[in-house]
């Protein structure tokens, strides 16, 4: 009986070894979102994760939030008492300093240097201004605003958001042109390059290769033609590849022509070739650690492991914005009713 027992044991070990090897070779997969307890019910569209521990957010009712311990506890408040203002984007520099912009009126930009205890107004827009999103590359910051007087309202900061000026070389715009302020992510910057997306009747990408001195408008094949359609979020994958998502916010389950890619630094765009994200998507980010694109929207979240050519839904959680932290170690999302979440994988 010893010999058969030995054979049986060897077979068992072989089966276990094969199963372990198969499991270890399985590709990682997003497991969903870990929801954090936050002290607000505000709609949070502004999000700026610095590390897996330090995350800033902003939103409706003048709300700002900050955690220094990965969401276990939160500092929060109302920016300068503006409890009727929607701060739809926030960009943080460290645990103490951040800049927040409003959408709608008043069109204002505020900055804090003491962890949110005090906020200083650093820019006051005109009566017709509407700000959509903000981005920084090192000390230089850019804000994109809807068309005013036949031009896009592009703002520039040269000092980490302490002061702002209207960019005189802002590109021309058709009447009533706008960019969506759903997640503060229709504008990107890297090196000397700036990109921002228009939405609605015509959804294009505007690109400058010289810090905003000259601009080119590039058409895209994303769903467009109605005021509720177009590009809602852009992200950068590498030196040449950019990705955009959107759709129609009035048809949140419409999974049609809602994802586009550029492999030429934004100079040309094509549709994703496989499965589209499973509905309108208001935010997208690239997670280098797993080589994933993550997209979020009101009916859930999708991911792509092949640079956006195919998408798979992994969560039904309603979310507005999604960003990888600056350390590229974690992915965070924000949404309605004070929702902030961390990606599980």
221-256 per-position pLDDT tens digit: 999 999 999 999 999 999 999 999 999 999 999 999
- CATH code reported for the domain at 35-344: 2.130.10.10
Share of the chain above pLDDT 70, in %: 92
CA angle centred on 156, ends 152 and 161, rounded to 5°: 135
Q: Where are the domains of the chain?
A: 35-344
87-130 per-position pLDDT tens digit: 999 999 999 999 999 998 999 999 999 999 999 999 999 999 99
pLDDT of residue 337: 98
Strand order in the sheet with 331-334: 32-35, 340-344, 331-334, 321-324
284-324 per-position pLDDT tens digit: 999 999 999 999 999 999 999 999 999 999 999 999 999 99
289 phi/psi in degrees, rounded to 5: -60, -40
Specify the DSSP element, H or E, that contains 18.
helix 2-25
Mean pLDDT value across the chain? 93
18-54 per-position pLDDT tens digit: 433 333 346 789 999 999 999 999 999 999 999 999 9
Structure letter (DSSP) for residue 81: G
Q: Does residue 206 contact residue 216 with C-beta atoms inside 8 Å?
A: yes
Beta-bridged to residue 324, according to DSSP, are: 331
Give the contacts of 4 (CB within 8 A, at least 6 positions apart).
Answer: none
- Residue 289 and residue 268: Cα distance in Å, rounded? 27
């Amino acid at each position: 009986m010893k010999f058969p027992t030995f054979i049986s044991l060897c077979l068992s070990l072989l089966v276990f070894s094969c199963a372990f090897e198969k499991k270890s070779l399985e590709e990682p997969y997003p497991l969903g979102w870990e929801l954090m307890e936050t002290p607000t019910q505000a709609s949070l569209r502004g999000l700026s994760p610095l590390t897996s521990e330090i995350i800033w957010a902003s939103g409706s009712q003048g709300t700002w939030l900050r955690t220094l311990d990965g969401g276990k506890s939160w500092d929060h408040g109302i920016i300068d008492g503006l409890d009727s203002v929607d701060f739809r984007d926030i960009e943080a520099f460290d645990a103490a300093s951040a800049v927040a912009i409003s959408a709608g009126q008043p069109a204002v930009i505020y900055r804090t240097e003491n962890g949110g205890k005090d906020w200083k107004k650093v820019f006051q827009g005109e009566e017709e201004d509407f700000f959509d999103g903000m981005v920084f590359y090192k000390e230089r910051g850019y804000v994109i605003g809807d068309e005013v007087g036949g031009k896009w309202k592009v703002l520039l900061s040269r000092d980490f958001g302490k002061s702002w000026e209207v960019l005189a070389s802002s590109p021309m715009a058709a009447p009533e042109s706008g960019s969506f302020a759903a997640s503060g992510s229709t504008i990107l910057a890297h090196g000397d390059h700036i990109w921002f997306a228009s939405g609605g009747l015509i959804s294009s990408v505007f690109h400058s290769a010289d810090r905003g001195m000259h601009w080119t408008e590039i058409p895209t094949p994303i769903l467009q033609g109605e005021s509720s359609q177009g590009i809602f979020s852009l992200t950068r994958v590498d030196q040449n590849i950019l990705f955009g998502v959107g759709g129609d916010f009035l048809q949140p389950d419409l999974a049609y022509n809602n994802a586009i890619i550029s492999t030429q630094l934004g100079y040309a765009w094509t549709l994703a070739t496989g499965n589209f994200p499973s509905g309108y998507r208001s935010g997208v980010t690239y997670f280098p650690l797993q080589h994933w694109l993550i997209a979020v929207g009101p009916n859930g979240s999708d991911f792509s492991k092949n640079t956006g050519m195919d998408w798979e839904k992994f969560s039904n959680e309603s979310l507005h914005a999604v960003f990888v932290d600056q350390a590229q170690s974690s992915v965070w999302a924000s949404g309605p009713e004070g929702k902030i979440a961390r990606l599980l994988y």
